[in-house]
Amino acid sequence: MNKMSNLLWGLVFIVIGVIFGLNALDITHINIFFDGWWTLFIIVPCFIGLFKDKEKTSNLIGIIIGLCLLLGCLDVIEFAFIWKLMVPVILVMIGLSFVFKDTLNKKVKKEIKKPNKKDAKEYCSCFSGQTIDFDKEEFKGCTLSAIFGSVKCDLKNSIIKEDIVINATSIFGGIDILIPEDVNVKINSTSIFGGVSDERKNKTKDAKYTIYINVTAMFGGVELK
């Protein structure tokens, strides 16, 4: 996914650079700053996010909002009509994401319930930040919460002897989880204007144990590194 997003961003900058170059040489006269050009700052990142992020809902909503605003700026659609339909469309898309998420992630949710331990430790950052390091320590799962704050959970050198669950909740905050290379990772997420991004370079698919990450993100994000 990271390679695809890098490729897409690279193509975007190449196209912009070529257009500027051709305009400078008077070969073309393409107007970069057309009416509504600023909506591309919404549309392009959300489109690339479809290839990068696990949760697609917020990106799809962003694309729809960006396209509607662009069409409004180009006088294709009246802004009054856009404002009337904006909220209903967003609510329908959020509802559909919940419906299909339960269907698509049914197997993962079932597996999450098995290793979920009642004695798992809880860590919460509210308007603050903290780093949790399980260096050479047996990790049995935990609950991470970031509310207007940040949490960094370092599992790189932790000891994992069984399947475990991490419950991560990010509300206007951010959570970074550093994953060991010798485990599988499976994700179940519920996100509204937030999401999960997997930035790991080395991903294992046939490891002995699995880390199940159950994510709830509202205007926040969870990154796996």
Amino acid letter, 142: C
User: Over the stretch 31-59, which tens digit does the pLDDT of each residue have?
Assistant: 878 888 888 888 888 887 777 666 667 77
User: Over the stretch 93-143, which tens digit does the pLDDT of each residue have?
Assistant: 777 666 665 554 555 566 665 555 556 788 888 888 899 998 888 888 888
Residue 176 has pLDDT above 90, yes or no: yes
> What was the pLDDT predicted at 78?
86
Determine the Cα–Cα distance for residues 175 and 148; give it in Å rounded to an integer: 11
As a whole number of angstroms, the longest Cα–Cα distance in the chain is 69
Residue 214 has pLDDT above 60, yes or no: yes
pLDDT above 70: percentage of residues in the chain? 84
Residue 8 has pLDDT above 80, yes or no: no
> What was the pLDDT predicted at 175?
92
Determine contact, residues 209/131, Cβ cutoff 8 Å: no
Determine contact, residues 184/204, Cβ cutoff 8 Å: yes
> What was the pLDDT predicted at 116?
59
Determine the Cα–Cα distance for residues 137 and 43; give it in Å rounded to an integer: 44
Determine contact, residues 160/180, Cβ cutoff 8 Å: yes
List the domain boundaries for the chain.
Answer: 2-104, 107-224
